[in-house]
Structure formats: structure tokens, C-alpha cells
Chains A and B, each alone.
Chain A
Amino acid sequence: MALKRSGTKYDIFTKIALVLVVAIVFFLIILPLLNILIYSTQPTGSAIITNAFSDEVIRQILWNTMKLGLTVAFLGTLLGFIMAYTQARVEFRGKKVLHIINLVPIISPPFAFATAVIVLFGRSGIITRGVFDWRPTLYGYTGLVLVLTLSFFPIAYMNLLGMLRSLDPALDEAGSSLGASKWRIFRTVTLPLLIPGFAGSFLLLFIESIADLANPLIIGGNYTVLASRAYMAINGDYDIPMAAGYSFLLLLPALLVFLVQRYWAQRKSVVSVTGKPSGRPTVVTSPIARFFLLSVTFLLTSLIVMVYATVVLGAFVKIIGVENSFTLEHFRYLLGGFANAAVKATTFLALIATPLAGIFGMLIAWLVIRKVRRGSEALDFLGMLGIAVPGTVIGIGYAITYNDPVKIGGVTVFPQVAGGAAIFGGAIAIVMVYIIRSSPAGQRSGISLLQQIDPSIEEASASLGASGGRTFRLVTLPLISGAFLSGLMYAFAHSMTTLSPIIFLVTPDISILTQKILAEADQGRYGNVFALCCMLIVLIMVIGGLINLLVRRFQVSTDRPLVTGR
């Protein structure tokens, strides 16, 4: 029997929730995208799109973007796989520590990698020049590939590790009982089963790297990509239609790849998630394989450790690598006025957005899995738009849409929420961006959890006389509180570290930490950058931990297999 019991009429609670969700999605993402489309038809915008392949400059930017996306997607997936395979199939000491180190880049602030890599491996890098007396040029393609691969490989790592762990060990055992060597099993059983995972990771990394704005700004040099060019159109050319044109060129491949990833790569997955693993996974014992896997792992992990060591040390010394004397002057400067307002505003706005994003994600998940019959996939997609659309595009769309009140036929249907003249100095637009950017994570985990919960538990509540809203509150919400919690944590961390859409929405009244980091990095004041990154990381850890504690108090234990019928 299908998970969705599709026979009942929508109750009033479902109807209200549905209307609410659609309205929120409309104002938070659809309308800004529509405006991008509308503006991109104006002369300077449509010129970008129609000349995309004939104009040499635009063609070069397009090619730069694609080349970067493909390289990072390939290298990131490869590294992610090696790390995941080592984690899942090689026995060695310090595995758990390694796992955590591999995950750290996910919550790290956008500039930590770029700046630390410049300090370590740049023209006057501590390692390149200091150790090898070598002065390579990092700015451009090489630096971008290095930084983006380091930042995004954890996505592939998590993806593939999950798949590797859910592979039934009995498959390997069956292979070896049929006489296949370990190498043969790896080639003919493990790898083919992981192909959907490779495809999915590749596509996700591609989207992330073509959408990234922070790193091209810091380390891109003359290597211009669509995101940075769209930013320049706003901040250099002051040409909104032109920015909309570049946004359109960026939006198209991003959405296309996202659709392929969601509706093709995920469908292809043949990994069956069975309840109990029926044996122990085979462990790699071949010395050559072990040596190879552990060397790559060791190199990559030490690179990550070095980057973070640079960030932390760099925050507490005058100029790291040049004048290594201890100082608190960076923090003194930042907290002496430069960043105080930004710390408060960022934390405050992220805290407002966090529960809203969490509830919104859960609500969509519940509607998609349990309630909506026709069009549940469309609703799911609408909810995911916030993460599928590059942040730069969202930011430009917001700037276009909300710097004036939204009017239909002369009647204001939505007030001006962005820009200095808006209420609360444009803070509302920033919160809106935080919500739409971070709710998809909660939506995903909510969906996967709901799929595991027997729908008859909710039906039992209805048959005992509880209304739709009551059932959601008393039964559904407590059961998915685990996903809710992880959604909250992610929403907070993501809001605190997001840059690309925010950059277009900060005003003199509201400054945001990530944008302060960009400004300092731009000026080459890396000590301040590192200090700001440290503050951001500490803030995320402390407040994230508090959220965790708070929610855990109200959480019930559902960490057991729920009986599912049929």
C-alpha cells in the first residue's frame, strides 16, 4: 500500500497550510525570479542573453563558469569517494576524528578557505614561498578549483558514505563466495551500485560551484564567472537589466542540473536500505590499496587542518607568516565598533529566521508526503527552489523586487522590505532570504523521516476523533522533531554563513558579518578576516548548541524502528 493514503478530502487545516505555503513560496522566491525574467528582456539584459554565444567576452565567461563547475564537480566527487570509501572500508585509528574534520567545511564561513589558502599557498605563501621558495599565482582558475574542491567535497563525502554504509554486506559476501577477488567485487559490485551516488554528487557539486560568488570575488582574479559578472553588473556597471541577463544565464543551467539531479539521478538509485545489516562490511586489507587510500586521506585531512589552523592562528597574530607575534588587536578593532552591529544584527536576524525556516520546511514535507495528491512533486520542487537557485540570482531578484513596494494594479500587495528606505532598514528582506535558503534542508530530512513513519499512526489519530491540525500538532510534529532539530541547526548555521544573496541586500542600517568579511578580505586585511571567521564559528557553535539543548528538552525518543505495515 502506498505511503500516501490518497482518498480523503482535504481538511480545513490542510487547505490553509497549502495556501499559506504557496503564498510564502510565491513572495520569497517566485516573484523575485519572475522579475529577473522580466528585467532580462530589457535591452542591456536581452543583449547578454542573445549574444551569449556570439559575443566573445560573454562566451568566455560562460565557458569559465562551466569549466570551473565541471572540474570542481569531478575532483570533489573523486575526493569525496576516496574519503568515504576509506571511512567505510579501511580500519585505522582516528577514524571518527577524521569524519568530523571532513564535515567541518560544510559549516565554515565562505572566506575562510580562500584567504587561508592564499596565506598558505599564494605568491608569498607560508608553504609555497616559505618552504619551497616558489611563487605560484593562485588567483584564477587554479586557486578557485583548489578552494572550491576543498569547500564542497564534503557534500559528495556525506552522500557516498551514506550509500556505502547502506550497501548490504551480503552482496560482497555473495561475490566472494562465487569466487571473485576483492578488487573484482569492488569493480563489479560496489562501483556499479554507487553510480547514482556519483552522478548525484557530481551534479550537486556542479550547482554549488557555478553558484558560488564569495570565492570568485576573493581568489578569482581575472577569471570571471557568471556569478561574479552579475555582481559586477550591479556594483560596477549599475545596470540592473544586465545583471538580470547574467543571472538568467546562470539560472538556466543551475535549474536544469538540479532537475536532472532530483528526478533522474535519485530515481536511479538501486541501493536498498534494509533494516539490519546482515554481516560486517568487507575491510580493505591489500597493502597497496591501504597505502593509496590512507595517503590521499592523510593529505586532504592535513590540508583542512592547516587551513583551520591558519584561520585560528591568523586571528591571534599580527600578520601570519610575516609577523607572528601574539596580538588581540584584530578582535579589539572588530569589537571596538567595526563589527559590533554586524554581530548583533546577523545573530538576531538568523535567530528570527531559524524557527520560521524549520517550521516552513516541515510543513512542506508533511504536505508533500501525507496530504497533497496531485502535484506533490511540484510542491516539493517549489520548496527546494531556494537552494536550487544560485544565491546571486536570489539576491539580485530581491533587490529588483523589494526595493519598491510590490503593486498589482496600483494596489500595494507587499511592502518595500529591501533597501535603506524600507522598514527596519531592509532587515525583513534578509530574513526572507535566510528562510528560503535554509528551509530546504529541513524539508529534505522531514520528507525522508515521514516516509519511514507508518501513515496509519496519523490515521489512528483521525479515527479517534482528532482534527487535521490537532493530529499534526500532537502526533506528526513530535514524531518528526528529530528532523526538525537538524533542520533548525542547519538553518541557523547556513543563515550565519550565507553571503551571495545578502551582499545585494545590506544597507547602511543593517550590516551582516559575512559582508564585513568580504570587505576586509577585499582590503587584504586577513588578520581581521580570520578573526571574523573565528567569531562566526564560535557564534554558530554556541548558539547552535543552545538550540540543540532547547529542542532536545521537548523532543521524544523515536530512535527505534517504527513498525510499518505492509
Chain B
Amino acid sequence: MAKTTGKLELRALTKEFGNGSEKVVAVKELSLTINPGEFVTLLGPSGCGKTTALRMVAGFETPTSGQVLLDGEDLSALTPDRRPMGMVFQSYALFPHMTVFDNVAYGLKVKKFSTAQIKKEVGEILDSMNLAHLTNRAPNQLSGGQQQRVALARAMVVRPKVLLFDEPLSNLDAKLRAQMRIEIRSIQRRLGITSIFVTHDQDEAMSLSDRIVVMRNAVVEQSGTPEEIYRRPSSVFVADFIGRSNFLSVNEVKKGGSGKVSVEASGVRLKVNAHPKALKSAHPHLLVRPESVSVKKSSASSKSRKANEGIVKNVVFYGNHVEYSIDTPNQTIAAVVSDPVYDEIVPVGAVAKIDFDESRAWLLPSDSAVIASEE
């Protein structure tokens, strides 16, 4: 069910901490429009400003400049308790002196719901999240995953227009994290609540989001769908932050027709897709994900090998895939071969021939070129 309310706009949101020489810019002119029901993830390394941005939306931080608008209404003057938003905290922040029921009922009591209505609403949401049997437990009697679900129920029961998640899965173990990802996404879809999710975990961002906003040093590096971010990153930083990457240095960059660019990498000529700024960049890099590299045994000796042949330095067999790292004359290449054929894994020390899938490669401008062209 698609909602028509819950459109969130961040306009040139800026936050500076400290004064004078100690001044730190945590978020710099962040502008973002989030459509009703959209799930947007702010992704970036720690210290990139993503949490500060979220806290400005929630109202816990006052922006140095810029605005937050919800359905066209400026929220700047509203304290957190006046904003129709729910927040899920990294530490869950359940009230330790209240039962699960009281925790979830808290927001409804504040909104002066009748006792009967509170009972009904809380009961329904606890039911829907498989928490009904824990109604009268204290938070410290719950497991991490259960605490997480209570925190989610507590934030959602008040029907906020926007849900804010501050790294809510980082305290869970890997298996539970994967399970909670699915749970959060399905509930969010069902209720159609506009959501902002802050994380430094790329898997979380990829699996949850309609759109990922990658942040670095207080500014947005790139904003796009998970597929765009993965396949069409705008910078080496983004490509490196999301997933694993090989960056090949390239020669003889030419326009190759039908929007493609022809480059020479590791002695092979490839026709690849390119970022618009890549052609202008002095040292473009070719992004090839490890899974786009194919590896075959080669009969060449280590001395007679060509530019696209290398010596296998390391092999790790995972069952469903093999990870190689291969020394070529130019650089070390990482390769992932999924579903390897029995007895065809190239052993350490042997020479392997590597091929790049040109349809999945992406030519990137070097980072300095990006910064220069923006100025």
C-alpha cells in the first residue's frame, strides 16, 4: 500500500561542531528528497556524518544551517517530541524499568490513547512481531533479537510518518542480523513508512534499500539504487566501499562507439561502459569486480606468460566458490569463481589465465579528477 504522506526533504543540511580552529564540519550541505514510503540508507565509514544527519532529522541535533521538511512543512522549530517520527536506536534504548508492554505502550500513553485502545494496539503489534508471549517480561530478560523487535514495535506503534534507524543491527550476531534485515524490510513495505537507515555495513545497505546514499567526509559521495551504486559507482571510494574491487590501470582510452569506451588493460583491449567524467580524467581506473574475472589453467611457464596471465598467490576454497589472488605483471588481481568444477582449481604457484567480463566492467575517473571537476 503506497502512502501519499511522508515525503521528507533535507535542504542543504549542515552541522558544525566546535568553534574557531577546533571547528569540525560533520555534515556539509546535505540535500536529499525521500519519497513517501521510500527506504533510504545512509552508508559510510564511521565519522562520515551519517549519524549526525539522522539525528538532525530526528531533532536531536540542531542544524547549523539548512532545513528538514516533512510534506512541505519545515520542522526546524519542532523539538524531537513534536516530530511525527519514530526512532530505533543502536542500543535499542528500551526503558529498563518497564515491561515490554509498557515500553510499547509508552508513546500511545503520551498521545493520550484510551486504556482499551492502548491494549488493543499494543497487543496487535506484539502479535504481528511474534512478541506476544513476552508481553510482561522486563527488557533484561530478552535476547538481543527480541529487544530489537520490541524497539521496532515501540517505534512503529505510534504510526510515525518517518522511521529512523541508527545502526540498529550492529549489536546482533551475523545470523540474527540477516533475519532482522528481512523482517524490518517486510514490515516497512507493508506499512509503507518512509524510512532512513544509517549503517556502515554494505550488506545491510544493499539488501534493505530502495536507495543508498554513500557519505564520505561530511558530503554525499553518491546517491542511487543498490544496483547503480554497485555497478555504476561514481568514484573509486564508492566502488571500494561497496563490495570488493579490482582497479586496473588502463592505456589508450578511446571512444568506442555506442556509448562505450575502448581501453587497453592488462594487454587486452576491452569495450566498456564509462562514467561521463572518466574520459576527461588523467588516470582513469577500470573497475572489475572479482566475480567478473574468470580464471583458467594456463600452460605457459612463469617466464613466458603474457600480460593477462599471472601466478596464483593464494587460493581459498569455500565450497560454493573459490577465491583467488593472482599476481600479474602489473598488479595483484582478486577473482571469485563461483561453483568451481571439481579438480579444476588452479593451485598456488601455477600460472593462470585471467579474463575480464567487459560487459560488467566500469571505467572510473580517479578520485582527484572528480574533486577537480567539481570545483
Binding site for B on A (CB under 8 A): 1, 5-9, 11, 454, 456-457, 459-468, 470-471, 474-475, 478-479, 556-558, 560, 562-566
Contact = CB atoms under 8 A, between A and B. Distances in A.
A459 B166 CA distance: 12
Given A8-B80, A467-B81, A457 B106 contact: no
B87 A463 contact: yes
A459 B62 contact: no
A560 B107 CA distance: 25
B158 interface: yes
B338 to A, nearest CB: 37
A454 B87 contact: no
B334 interface: no
Contact of A479 (B55, B58, B83, B96): B96
B175 interface: no
Contacts of A9: 62, 79
Nearest to A479: B97
Contact of B110 (A6, A466, A479, A560): A466
Contacts of A8: 59-62, 79-80
B106 A461 contact: yes
Nearest to B111: A465
A335 B79 CA distance: 59
B188 interface: no
B297 to A, nearest CB: 49
A440 B193 CA distance: 47
Contacts of B166: 456
B279 to A, nearest CB: 42
A460 B166 CA distance: 12
Interface in B36-87: 51, 55-56, 58-62, 79-83, 85-87
Contact of B58 (A463, A465, A558, A562): A463
Contact of B107 (A465, A467, A556): A465
B79 A462 contact: yes
Given A454-B91, A560-B96, A562-B96, 18 more contacts: A5-B55, A7-B15, A8-B60, A8-B80, A454-B93, A456-B93, A457-B93, A457-B96, A460-B89, A460-B93, A461-B106, A468-B79, A474-B106, A556-B96, A556-B97, A557-B138, A563-B147, A565-B93
B110 A465 contact: yes
Contacts of B80: 8, 459, 462-463
Contacts of B58: 459, 463
A467 B82 CA distance: 8
A565 B171 contact: yes
B140 interface: yes
A563 B170 CA distance: 13
Given A7-B60, A8-B79, A11-B79, A461 B95 contact: yes
Contact of A563 (B81, B83, B164, B171): B171
Nearest to A1: B51
The 6 nearest A-B residue pairs measured at CB:
A7-B61, A565-B91, A464-B107, A556-B97, A456-B93, A460-B93
B155 interface: yes
B90 interface: yes
A460 B95 contact: yes
A242 to B, nearest CB: 47
B161 interface: no
Contacts of A562: 96
Nearest to B112: A465
B231 to A, nearest CB: 33
Contacts of B289: none
Nearest to B87: A463
A466 B106 contact: yes
B97 A560 contact: no
Contacts of B90: 456, 565-566
Contacts of B94: 457, 460
Given A8-B61, A9-B62, A560-B96, A456 B91 contact: yes
A465 B147 CA distance: 21
A475 B94 CA distance: 10
Nearest to B88: A460
A363 to B, nearest CB: 19
A468 B58 CA distance: 15
Contacts of B151: 460
Contacts of A456: 89-91, 93, 166
Contacts of B155: 463-464
Interface in B300-341: none
B356 interface: no
Contacts of A475: 95
Contact of B81 (A463, A479, A558): A463
A1 B95 CA distance: 20
Contacts of A560: 96, 140
A563 B106 CA distance: 19
Contacts of A479: 96-97
Contact of A7 (B55, B82, B83, B110): B55
B92 interface: yes
A1 B61 CA distance: 13
Nearest to A566: B90
A372 to B, nearest CB: 15
B271 interface: no
A1 B155 CA distance: 22
Contacts of B92: 563
